[in-house]
Amino acid sequence: MKTYFVTGCAGFIGFHVSRRLLSEGYSIVGADNLNDYYDVNLKQDRLKILKNHKNFYFYQTNLENFAAVEKVMQDHPVHTVIHLAAQPGVRYSISHPQTYINSNIVGFFNVLEACRQHQAAHLIYASSSSVYGANTKMPYSIDTNVDHPMSLYAATKKANELMAHTYSNLYGLPTTGLRFFTVYGPWGRPDMAIYLFVNSIIAGKPIKVFNYGKMRRDFTFIDDIVEGITMIINKIPQPNPYWDGKQPDPSSSFVPYKIYNIGHNQPVELLTLISIIEDNLGRKAKKEFLPIQPGDVPETYANIDSLMKDVGFKPQISIEKGVERFVAWYKNYHNISL
């Protein structure tokens, strides 16, 4: 069975991807720095589950250290790299910009360089819906120009796509970038809206409702994301023979490079989400209505036609079912009975 290198394996998406591939018998080499951007205990608890598998190998390391990335690739016959480690968060990037340069730019360069030197068969990496920035045409399409980011976080993700293309061009490294749209579900990040809302409602604290509740997000359940990633692993990008430099397609190239949106394709208004959470908790939220935050956008909405066409991706979990599953996990994990 093949060996996959999953960076950010103790993070939300990295944990779920690793667990899925381990359950299918693959070997996983995982790397994570276990930083304290959010509760380290949650990361450790995810890691404990992964360590129950005999074919899981863990390295606690920072990707900004090239020697550490190089050691992983030297120690293991890695076939595909699934790069999910990054410093996330639009708002945090305003107060901690250097962290994003170190993790998302330097760290990504080191992954690219290690893939080149060890001739990885495929690099799959996390981009973000944030790259669409100031675009207002909905749904967001991979054919759209994404040169107007609204935050440094978005700019680093756009930079990752450009860096990947460079390595695909210069060294023939097959790269696939996945623009994630608001991923949620069990074991999710505590800094994300659904987790924050559930936490505050249970505690009887007010929730912050930005843009006065008129935000719309393409909430995508984690199981759908994992399914999409596993579909992509063996869909190694090929040069597009129809690519035309006079009318360049931003999502493909004359080199082995591809970009996909991976979302639910059904945006949900924030007030609707809150109502669904209230129904699942049997409690009403105390709402604090606020203007939109700097760097944020009022709506995200994924056009997923390309991913559907190429690998048959189709999201299965509705927002109602997804929130129900998240709340059930939250109550169990935190030992709460309502």
Rounded to the nearest angstrom, the gap between the alpha carbon of residue 239 and the centroid of all alpha carbons in its chain is: 25
Contact 160/108 with Cβ under 8 angstroms?
yes
Compute the distance between CA of residue 253 and CA of residue 245 in angstroms, rounded to an integer: 9
| CA separation for the pair 125, 161 (Å, rounded) | 9
What would the two tokens of residue 331 be? 């109550």
Are the CB atoms for 73 and 57 separated by under 8 Å? no
Catalytic annotation, residues: 153
pLDDT less than 70: residues of the chain: none
Which residues are CB-neighbours of 107 under 8 A, at least 6 positions away?
62, 63, 64, 85, 86
Q: Of 281, 264, 280, give the one whose Cα is nearest residue 316.
A: 264
What pLDDT is stored for residue 133 in this prediction?
95
Residue 78 β-bridge partners: 3
At residue 290, the pLDDT reads 95
Is the backbone of residue 130 left (phi > 0), alpha (psi -120 to 50) or beta?
Answer: alpha
Tokens linked to 151: 């935050």
Q: Single out the residue of 193, 185, 179, 190 nearest to residue 269, CA to CA.
A: 193
Token pair listed for 37: 């951007």
For position 337, what pLDDT does the model report?
A: 85
Query: CA 38 to CA 173: how far, in whole Å?
Result: 33
Write down all domains in the chain, each with its CATH number in brackets: 3-184+219-264+302-316 (3.40.50.720)
Q: Three-state SS across the chain? A: CCEEEEECCCCHHHHHHHHHHHHCCCEEEEEECCCCCCCHHHHHHHHHHHHCCCCEEEEECCCCCHHHHHHHHHHCCEEEEEECCCCCCCCHHHHCHHHHHHHHHHHHHHHHHHHHHCCCCEEEEEEEHHHHCCCCCCCECCCCCCCCCCCHHHHHHHHHHHHHHHHHHHHCCCEEEEEECCEECCCCCCCCHHHHHHHHHHHCCCEEEEHHHCCEECCEEHHHHHHHHHHHHCCCCCCCCCCCCCCCCCCCCCCCEEEEEECCCCCEEHHHHHHHHHHHHCCCCCEEEECCCCCCCCECCECCHHHHHHHCCCCCCCHHHHHHHHHHHHHHHCCCCC
Amino acid identity for residue 275 in this structure = S
pLDDT of residue 121: 98
**Angle at alpha carbon of residue 108, lines to 103 and 114, rounded to 5°:** 130
* Tokens, residue 150: 């609204």
For residue range 200-258, list pLDDT tens digits in order. 999 999 999 999 999 999 999 999 999 999 999 999 999 999 999 999 999 999 999 99
